[in-house]
Amino acid sequence: MVRALSNEQKILNMVGLATRAQRISVGEDQIIKDIKQGRAKLLLLANDIGYQTHKKMTDKCQSYHVPYRTVMNRDQLSHAIGKSGRVAVAITDEGFANKLSSLLD
């Protein structure tokens, strides 16, 4: 019997695929740079991100018209990309961003 994947698992799998395809950026400075230069297509924020970082990232997204979504916690997000302690991931590919947006809506 095959179990259907939960929506959350599909999102994590898609983030993992984007990571392996090198279509993400991580790290606050790199994400801000990608937002400013128009490379970031979607920003995913952990639901347990700190207030200051959340405000800085979302303000930048609003200024540069980049959509953002709050997703699972930092441990799940970090596990999906294979790096520890990550609270934000910018998706830099339109296709991955569109697919993730549809899963998140």
pLDDT higher for 16 or 7? Answer: 16
CA–chain centroid gap for 81, Å, is 10
pLDDT band at 2 (very low <50, low <70, confident <90, very high): low
The model carries a pTM of: 0.93
Cα(35)–Cα(43) distance, integer angstroms = 9
Domains and CATH numbers, the chain: 7-104 (3.30.1330.30)
Looking at residue 6, its pLDDT comes to 87
Q: What is the pLDDT of residues 9-63, one digit of tens each?
A: 999 999 999 999 999 999 999 999 999 999 999 999 999 999 999 999 999 999 9
Residues 6+ apart with CB under 8 A from 36: 60, 64
